[in-house]
Amino acid sequence: MATAPNKIAIVGVGKIAHDQHVPSIAGNPDFELAATVSRHGSVQGVEAFTDLNTMLAKRPDIGAVALCMPPQARFAYAVEALAARRHVLLEKPPGATLSEVHELERLAAQHDCTLFATWHSRFAVAVPAAKAWLADKKIARLAITWKEDVRRWHPGQEWIWEPGGLGVFDPGINALSILTAIYPRPLHLASADLSFPENRGTPIAVSLRFVDPEGAEVTAEFDWRQEGPQTWNIEADTDAGHMKLSSGGASLAIDGRKVEQAPDREYAGIYRRFAELIRTGRSDVDLSPMVHVADAFTLGRRIAAEPFEF
């Protein structure tokens, strides 16, 4: 017998909600978009609230929320939703600090709710194949190159330049979510150079170097000043050849031969996983990508860069 779909509300209706969450929910029979909560945004044909408390009180039939606002504001909304015993999906990064997300885990367990800290890049189609291929290789070197044009991908978004908005780590943490998923063992940070525009509170470019206990050279370069072609690559030299994971995880080549390539279906995977977590009464909260970012802010050397204006 078919079960009724989970009624879900999107909270924070902006770019990513419209681009990905609305179509992914529409394409998944396990969910029904039953409301939105947003001060300005809405979705045509869906009941719209401007305040989470009111939605939680008026719609007890809605059992889940997807929190799609910038990370600095996410904690307060998640606490309200969990206290009202709703399952919670967190956009990435899951919060502004590690300790607040630990608190959300505790609250989710206390209220018997699912908490899902999503990392959309982990659902890119070639990531599982890259993980499987790397698993038994001796890695000599792995280099992440994540270079994009902030004006193109974040037009006018001021929150990314405010404390907690992460700057270039906003896309960079996607690369770190793939790294922490595919690398065969834990890494820790050795050094970080963080370039801050003189007029901004978050970095525009970052260089990271990691320690691998087995001696591989592991580095990451994030830069938001890249015009023209955009680059989201992870390349590894191993005892069995060269691996190139490109297009943010959507394409994999070994020694130049394509192994896997498909269009982006990341958010479809996220909602499949959320349905499974709710069905089985579990949470999924992996903070390892965010630990590397926090370590970079702890250990990083600050470098002054040109002022940035949109």
Cβ density class 249-271: b for 16+ within 10 Å, e for less: bbbbbbeeeeebeeeeebbbbbb
Q: Which amino acid is at 247?
A: S
DSSP character for 104?
A: H
Site membership for ligand NAP, residue 16 (CB under 6 A): yes
Nearer to ligand NAP, 120 or 292 (CB): 120
Applying CB under 6 A, which of residues 9, 55, 65, 68 lies at the interface with ligand NAP? 68
Characterize the bridge pairing of strands 64-67 and 205-211.
Answer: unpaired
Is 39 a binding residue for ligand NAP by CB under 6 A? The answer is yes
Contacts (CB under 6 A) with ligand NAP, residues 102-131 = 120
- Give the bridge partners for 146, in sequence order: 222, 232
22 part of the interface to ligand NAP, by CB under 6 A: no
Q: How many residues bind ligand NAP (CB under 6 A)?
A: 20
Tell me: does residue 164 bind ligand NAP (CB under 6 A): no
92 part of the active site: yes
Whole-Å CA distances, 210 to 186, 213, 233:
10, 10, 17
Among 297, 159, 168, 167, smallest CA distance to 223 is for 168
Cα 60 from Cα 207, distance rounded (Å): 47
* Binds ligand NAP by CB under 6 A, chosen from 10, 13, 139, 194: 13
Contact status: 80 vs ligand NAP (CB under 6 A): no
Please give the residues from 167 up to 206 whose contact with ligand NAP meets the rule CB under 6 A. Answer: 170
Q: Which is nearer to ligand NAP, 162 or 235 (CB)?
A: 162
Return residues touching ligand NAP (CB under 6 A).
Answer: 12-16, 38-41, 68-71, 73, 91-92, 120, 157, 159, 170
- Active site (catalytic) residues: 92
